[in-house]
Amino acid sequence: MAITGDQSFLKNINRMAMIRLIRGQPGLSRADLALSTGLTKSTVSQLVQELIDEGWLSEDDALVTGSIGRRPTPLRLNTERLALIGADLNVGRVDVVATTLTGEVIATAQRKMDTKDVKEVMAFLADGIAQVAREMLAQRRTVLGVGVGVPGPVHAVSGILHFSPNFGWRDVPVRAELNAALATTGLASLPVYVQRRAATAALGEVEFASTDVEEPLLFIHLGLSIGAGVFVSDRLLSGHGGFAGDVGNQQLKSEGEHRTAEELISLRAMARASGISPEEFQFRVEANDPSVQQVLQNAGQYLGVLIHNLWSTFDPAQVVLGGACSRFGEHYVGAALTTLNTRAAEGSLRPPKVTVARFGDQAVAIGATALVLHQIVRPM
């Protein structure tokens, strides 16, 4: 397929192609970039200088090679001048972070809230973002944009959240509402990107990885609700209307009945089965209380079934478990892996690699900063 467009668009494609190359191989020189991209050396030099001036790249000392001529200068992502802001929107709280281009957290803010009103929630969200943005201004950093992970399927282009059972929202224009709230804080010009929480967390695993990530990558977010994000062919799999990854409604068989994964595996489901609140359930798990171990074991076995079903559907090279429940250890995650491995062995198959999210409780918020980076460095 031929790529057409104006010169500024094509120029940006070339600029971001060089950013991706340097991110993957820090220390590349201008000559290396010319060889890898097929661009002329003069074009590469011009674009690299622009990226240095804008704060994307920095130069190391020239290398001593022993050859005659200009010494190559290694290039790296600049972690001192630009920033990405990400937010994790959940019932009762908003977590906001700022990161460098490489995913290092450089500021945080949290807002607790006792409301589900759209405008009030957006005001809390905007206030947290504004606090972090002010910190970036004090550090003389330029903010490239804001990403938001939301609890429910979202149409990424329009920024409309289709529905969120936890909030009781339906067809809420999150991006438009947040833009309006940010305008009251003086941040109306910041680009805003919205995606479902599990999908943003998947992007964090990919965009800030120290090595190439094997694809497809499947991220399963295990919290009050259950969701998934799939990264394949260098992009998120969002589906036609943003519903890809809505795995909490997948039907699993339990005691002769079909129940959803969310009703069997989620933190809310395990707390309900124990007759206590989700907060108390987490406390007992962290205290190694024997009273919740059987509930964890049962839910973990169903998690193993869910992973097996998603493995059969997407054939991922890697499965990443994130969210509060991913820390529940051998009685939950261990039980899931035992179930997965047993089912794989029955089919004489090797199961996918299963890991726990690298960013822990901040997986969604940091993933939301990766969403901003993803949108910028992949202009196609």
- Is the predicted pLDDT of residue 66 greater than 90, yes or no? no
pTM of the complete model = 0.91
In degrees rounded to 5, what are phi and psi of residue 212?
A: -60, 140
A 10 A CB-CB count for 373 gives 26
Superfamily the domain 82-202+363-377 falls into? ATPase, nucleotide binding domain (3.30.420.40)
Q: What's the pLDDT at 5?
A: 57
pLDDT digits (tens, 9 = 90+) for 213-260: 889 999 999 999 899 999 998 899 988 888 888 899 899 976 677 899
- Could you tell me which residues come within 8 angstroms of residue 242 by beta carbon, excluding any fewer than 6 positions away? 153, 154, 155, 156, 162, 196
Domain spans in the chain, listed from the N-terminal domain onward: 7-77, 82-202+363-377, 213-357
Superfamily the domain 213-357 falls into? ATPase, nucleotide binding domain (3.30.420.40)
Report the percent of the chain where pLDDT is more than 90: 82
Q: What's the pLDDT at 83?
A: 98
- Could you tell me which residues come within 8 angstroms of residue 19 by beta carbon, excluding any fewer than 6 positions away? 51, 56, 57, 77, 377
Query: pLDDT tier at 1 (50, 70, 90 boundaries)?
Result: very low
Residues 4, 8, 10, 13, CA torsion sign: negative
Question: Which CATH number fits the domain 7-77, given the four candidates 3.30.559.30, 1.10.10.10, 3.40.50.2300, 3.90.120.10?
Answer: 1.10.10.10
Instruction: Check residue 250 and give left, alpha or beta (phi > 0: left; psi -120 to 50: alpha).
Output: beta
Mean pLDDT of the chain: 92
Q: H or E element: which one contains 33?
A: helix 30-37
pLDDT digits (tens, 9 = 90+) for 320-330: 999 999 999 99
- Is the predicted pLDDT of residue 61 greater than 80, yes or no? no
Q: What's the pLDDT at 326?
A: 94
A 10 A CB-CB count for 295 gives 22
Residue 323: which of 351, 293, 359, 349 has the closest Cα?
359
- Is the predicted pLDDT of residue 301 greater than 60, yes or no? yes
pLDDT digits (tens, 9 = 90+) for 260-284: 999 999 999 999 999 999 999 999 9
DSSP string over 316-343 = -SEEEEESGGGGS-IIIIIHHHHHHHHH
Query: Is the previous residue joined to 216 through a cis bond, with omega within 30 degrees of 0?
Result: yes
d(CA 225, CA 262): 6
Instruction: Indicate the angle between helix axes 335-346 and 293-314, nearest 10 degrees.
Output: 40
- Could you tell me which residues come within 8 angstroms of residue 301 by beta carbon, excluding any fewer than 6 positions away? 335, 336, 338, 339
Query: pLDDT tier at 194 (50, 70, 90 boundaries)?
Result: very high
Topology match between the domains 7-77 and 82-202+363-377: no
**Tokens standing for residue 74:** 């290694």
- Is the predicted pLDDT of residue 179 greater than 50, yes or no? yes
- Is the predicted pLDDT of residue 10 greater than 60, yes or no? yes
Residue 147: which of 79, 93, 99 has the closest Cα?
99
